Structure 1
Amino acid sequence: MRSRFAAFAVEDEAYLLRTWHPATRPPRVEFERGMRWSGLEIEEVSGGSAVHTAGTVTFRACYTFRGTPGELRERSRFSRHDGAWVYVDGDTGIG
């Protein structure tokens, strides 16, 4: 999760696509011009250990968009694919 946040912050599309599950991976990642990611707080983790095949991470990411601060909250789902953890999808707008 932290590495994907960092990849969004530096707009590393190749890394984001490589760590996205093939079943849900978009053809490309669209970065919002004027978006600056500034911090990540992991709120909850479920699964995701060496014995699991799936897990979730609930996080809060802070940003500034064209000078206005904001935050994104998401519960992300991850699974193992070819031995590596990859992002499957997520729910935003969580409580």
Structure 2
Amino acid sequence: MEFLVTLTVTIPAGTDPTEVEQRKADEAARAAELIETGNLLRIWTPPSDPGVWTILGLWEADDPTELRAMLESLPLWPWITEHTEPLGAHPNDPGRLVSGAR
């Protein structure tokens, strides 16, 4: 099952910059793991307000519970608000047409 997930990261005021950098490095490592397992399919960074990071991701999970566990495993999770949309197949999806699936 695919999900479109919007993550908004807001660093709490007064957070030690060293902690921010460590969490960002840990986040990159965790994202690499999720890419390797095929759960994080695509990721984008749309424009955001200063001091706020917005991340759009296309995720694959068996169900919303599995997705939630993956999101909560992100090192930046304590600073994240998220919005998740489950995605259904569309008959005109170019990816579906290219793969020959009907």
Question: Given the two structures, how large is their TM-score scaled by the length of structure 1?
Answer: 0.26
If asked which structure has higher relative contact order (CA below 8 Å, sep 6+), I would say 2
- In proportion to residue count, which structure has more helix? 2
Higher strand proportion: 1
